[in-house]
A = this chain, B = another copy of it.
């Protein structure tokens, strides 16, 4: 197997039995997309023509509101499947931006190649079914945690999911994701590091 596809192969096998032939078939349909730091896979108002797998790098998915304020929905890193399926399938403009925070390598699919992947690789379709269920559960959990957790608790949950986030994502983006001011984030970090001494 191409060593560049090992991550993907290993990752898919955590959820379903995904053979080397399945990985090969997937890669034959994929378009390898390189993004430079700060480059976008798609921007608000565009058609989100690709969904894809993050083989390398880290991105942010965000929306700019009518007042010009940015709202970060999530940070994606290696092994995430990303995209705006609603725009992708309905071919309408997306309200979101997907921007590289580091140089990224994605394995990307158009509607046509994605539909072929789903129908020609049954193990992939099975993966999607389970991954969709898990992702929905995770999103509900995020919604709940936004309502009931303190900023400090949300910060700790993010760190647990993404331990090296401060090495990879600018601090003001992390504050935006947590829905707090950068100064509040600094204060929380300081308090926690004082407390853990």
Task: Decide yes or no: A73 and B143 within 8 Å by CB, A65-B148, A148-B65 being known contacts.
Answer: yes
Which residues on B sit within 8 Å (CB–CB) of A84? 137
Q: How many copies of this chain?
A: 2
Assembled-state Cα–Cα distance A86/B133 (Å): 5
| Contact call A133/B89, Cβ cutoff below 8 A | yes
Mask, A122-145, CB within 8 Å of B = 1, is 000000011011111101101110
Q: A65-B148, A84-B137, A148-B69 are in contact. Are A89 and B130 (CB under 8 A)?
A: yes
The answer to the question of A167 belonging to the interface, with a C-beta cut-off of 8 Å to chain B, is no
Across the interface, do A143 and B142 meet the contact criterion of CB distance under 8 Å? yes
Contact partner, A71, options B96, B130, B148, Cβ 8 Å: B148
Complex Cα–Cα for A137 and B84 (A) = 8
Q: Is the CB of A89 within 8 A of B129?
A: yes
A45 within 8 A of B: no
Asked if A80 lies at the interface with its beta carbon under 8 angstroms from chain B, I say no
| CA of A86 to CA of B130, assembled, Å | 7
Picked from B73, B132, B133, B148, the residue with its CB within 8 Å of the CB of A144 is B73
CB nearest neighbor in B for A149:
B65
Can you name 7 A-B pairs with beta carbons within 8 Å? A65-B144, A84-B137, A85-B132, A86-B133, A86-B136, A86-B137, A89-B130
